[in-house]
Amino acid sequence: MSSRVRPGRDDSPDRLYTLTGGRSGTGSTSFDVVTLIVAESDPVPGMQSEHAAILRMCRFPTAVVEVAAGLGLPVSITKILLSDLHDTGRISARHPRPASYRLPDHDILEQVLVGLRNL
């Protein structure tokens, strides 16, 4: 096991346990790593610092994986923090659409290609 020391960072299990209040799951809310998060409110005084950072970070749509990277936390921990904010209405989540679409017919694509070449 590698022991990389990062100044100002404490990734100990105790710290991560404290951040999530001991929870290991997100409850009813599920986030994909590409789910876009948008803040619906500003941080308020007394709010957990990670929650406030998420709200500042997500003024514009931001993917869950980007939020995790910005916080310097594992994605699993970030999802729990996002779930807290989602449950209180402080963020909204735009989930990715399932890949249920079909590509256009090959003949149509060929006709478009021919048309573009003729321009």
Ordered DSSP codes for 75-117? HHHHHHHHHHHHHTTSEEEEPPPPS---PPPHHHHHHHHHHHH
3-state secondary structure of 55: helix
Can you give the pLDDT at residue 26?
Answer: 59
The answer to whether 91 and 38 have CB atoms below 8 angstroms apart is: yes
Q: Note if the pTM is more than 0.75.
A: no
Can you give the pLDDT at residue 101?
Answer: 66
Can you give the pLDDT at residue 56?
Answer: 95
Q: What is the pLDDT of residues 90-112, one digit of tens each?
A: 999 988 777 666 777 888 888 98
3-state secondary structure of 62: strand
Q: What is the pLDDT of residues 47-67, one digit of tens each?
A: 988 999 999 999 999 999 999
Mean model confidence pLDDT for the chain: 81
Highest mean pLDDT among 17-21, 37-41, 112-116: 37-41
Higher pLDDT, 61 or 14: 61
